[in-house]
Amino acid sequence: MVTPEVEPYIRQKFAENAGLTEEQLFTADATLADVIASSPRMTNSIDLMEAFARTANGLRKDYGVRVRLPALPLDTPITTVLKTFLDEFEREQKEAAV
């Protein structure tokens, strides 16, 4: 079971790095391409990669869990990205506990 505050933590970090509010970022059908297009801070997928890296670094610092995200195509919905992040977090957390 993922620590309950992790989801809002990831949402907040993503939004912070994208320069968008959580409401703007996590709309039902927004894809990564949409995020790049609407973010005032992002030019291309390198910025996206960096936003994920900062989030992962935050999780490592604040929760001691190391999450690695796979390369995701730009048509991936942001909700799927969030879920992937949470799944990875859970997997890593379990592995660390063993």
Partner 1 sequence: MSIAETDRASSPVIRRSAASDGSPAIITDLYDALTKRGMSLVDVTWEQQRLHESRRWSVVEMLAAVDLDSLTPLDRNLVWNAGRAELTTKPGADRLERQSEAEVRRWQDKNPTVASIMEACGTWSRYWNEEEAHHETVFNRLADLSGMEPISDETFIQFRQVFPDDDMLRTLVLLAISEITAAVNYGQCQHVIEDPGLRRIFKQVAADEIQHRNYFVSFAKALVDSGEYPAKDAFAVAHLFLREDGELHGSARAQLEQRGSHVNWWDQLEVGDNDFRPEALEKKEQLICGALKKITGIEVHSREEVEDTWMDLVGS
To partner 1, the closest distance from the beta carbon of 21 in angstroms equals: 20
Q: Please pick, from the candidates 58, 79, 86, 90, the single residue that binds partner 1 as defined by CB under 8 A.
A: 58
Residue 42 and residue 30 in contact, taking contact as beta carbons nearer than 8 Å: no
Instruction: Write the DSSP assignment of 37-61 as a string of letters.
Output: HH-SS--SHHHHHHHHHHHHHHHHH
Asked whether 7 and 94 are in contact (CB, 8 A), the reply is: no
Please, what is the minimum distance in Å from the beta carbon of residue 30 to partner 1?
17
Q: Which of 3, 74, 80, 95 binds partner 1 (CB under 8 A)?
A: 74
Nearer to partner 1, 24 or 45 (CB): 45
64: buried, middle or exposed (CB in 10 Å: 19+, 13-18, 0-12)?
Answer: exposed
CB of 87 to partner 1, least distance (A): 17
Q: Which tokens sit at 94?
A: 């379990």
Cβ at position 28, least distance to partner 1 in Å: 22
Contacts with partner 1, residue ranges (CB under 8 A): 43-46, 49-50, 53-58, 60-61, 70-71, 73-75
